[in-house]
Amino acid sequence: MMNKIAILGTGTAGLLSLNHFCTWLDHTWEVTSIYDPSIKILGVGESTTPRVPYNLFLGADFSFAHDAEKIDATIKHYVKYVNWREHDITSLIDTSFYGIHFNNFKLKDFLFERLSQKWGDKFKIKTGKVIDLYNSNQKSVVNIDNKNYEYDYVIDCRGYPENYDEYNISEYLPLNHCLVHTVNEPGKWNFTYHQATKNGWMFGIPLATRQGWGYLYNDVITSKEEAMEDIADIFKIDKNSLSLREFKFKPYYAKKILEGRILKNGNRFLFFEPLEALSTFYYDEANKFFYDYIQGRYTEHQVNETFNIYCKFLETFICYVYHGGSIYDTEFWKITKSKCSEKLKGCEFFDTIVRHYKENESNIYKAQNIKPFSPWQWQKFDEQFGYHYFKS
């Protein structure tokens, strides 16, 4: 009798989860993608850590040389911070690796075709509206269009939660609104822009056929009108000609990523902001731990405890980047510097991170297990920001 796992949703996290479990589960398993074709993904353009192209190679035989066009991909060698200091800051990827930028809208078709070719009947597709999801005895139950289907395990990647009762909301992270601006010209650079603005910062994603820019700000401090004026000024265009998409968000993470046979992943699990594209690292970590949980290597409590620590680490890292401010002496940056500095001041968790990295800096073996950056990356990053926390 076949074991069955279902992945709900076909945003980035859902597709990476499909790829992961097709790769690592053996042929006694069926891996089913369940999604509602009427639900659209955000589709801004995605920046990744090096794990994503490597995992796509394992699961779908992805090769940048042969497949980049299929997902509108470009190479990513680093993140470039502009206007955070008087000089540009580069957050480098180790030279033996690379990340990618890709078109979210194209990834599903590419992966569905490749997973079908490579894994045959192991990979399944089911469409419909998910009405309910719950644990029941030794199964998890997905109600699709008012009909129940049983699976051994389910990964829930259906996007933002309906309410935040079971989530921790960060009181320190400053952003809650994004305006997306598209430039219909190829992005001819090999890094992700993190450009500080008067009201927050803006990411820039180079795709092979277009550019995706996301202006991030706090709508309690800055009005949408002010944000649009700043975007128009940055791109030297008339404000009335802007055609923007927008989304609002909270900075949050799940109190429990795992309950019984159901794992939350993607925005169902965590959303802070796209700094350094670290969300894809955490999606992958969630999949790895869930696989080991299925194999009996971790308990539910151990998985939840681990990811509680991971999320606190990510929140602390973002505050670490922000707390030195930028070249702008505006209300947003004054408030943000104050709140993020307050978070780090006397923070035992941050002090532990600094000590941990210093202790392992010269130990190459241990350094391989430090996540998500190596001590070398941390030190270079730290020096450029002028913090010097990680200097020996």
pLDDT in tens, 258-292: 999 999 999 999 999 999 999 999 999 999 999 99
- pLDDT of 123 reads 98
Across 90-99, 131-140, 360-369, 372-381, least confident range: 360-369
Could you say which DSSP state residue 85 is in?
A: S
Amino acid at 206: P
**With the C-alpha atoms ordered 222, 228, 229, 234, is the resulting torsion angle positive or negative?**
positive
User: What amino acid occupies position 199?
Assistant: N
Residue 328, pLDDT above cutoff 90: yes
pLDDT reported for residue 371: 58
pLDDT at 373: 67
The pLDDT assigned to 346 comes to: 82
pLDDT reported for residue 364: 47
Residue 357: the pLDDT is: 75
Distance CA 326, CA 199 (A): 11
Give per-residue pLDDT as tens, 200-211: 999 999 999 999
Average pLDDT score over the chain: 93
Q: Using an 8 Å Cβ cutoff, are 157 and 35 in contact?
A: no
Mean pLDDT of 87-107: 92
By residue count, the chain amounts to 392
Characterize 359-374 residue by residue with b for buried, 16 or more Cβ atoms within 10 angstroms of its Cβ, and e for exposed.
ebbeeeeebeebebbb
Helix 375-385 to helix 348-360 angle, to the nearest 10 degrees? 120
pLDDT band for position 352 (cuts 50, 70, 90): confident
pLDDT at 85: 97
Structure tokens at 218: 């706090």
Domain segments of the chain: what residues?
3-75+102-169+251-309, 346-392
Predicted local confidence at residue 367, as pLDDT: 46
Name the fold adopted by 3-75+102-169+251-309: FAD/NAD(P)-binding domain (3.50.50)
- For residue 330, what pLDDT is reported? 98
Per-residue pLDDT for 155 more than 60?
yes
- In one-letter notation, the amino acid at residue 151 is Y
Q: Is the pLDDT of residue 380 over 90?
A: no
Phi and psi angles of residue 254, each rounded to the nearest 5 degrees, phi first: -70, 140
Top pLDDT among 351 and 152 is at: 152
Mean pLDDT along residues 148-164:
97
Is the pLDDT confidence value at 313 over 60?
A: yes
Beta-sheet pairing, 29-35 with 123-127: parallel
Tell me: pLDDT of 366 over 80.
no
Parallel, antiparallel, or unpaired: how do β-strands 167-169 and 252-254 relate? antiparallel
Percent over 70 (pLDDT), the chain: 95
**Tell me: the pLDDT tens digits for 233-265?**
999 999 888 889 999 999 999 999 999 999 999
Identity of residue 11: G
Mean pLDDT of 26-45: 90
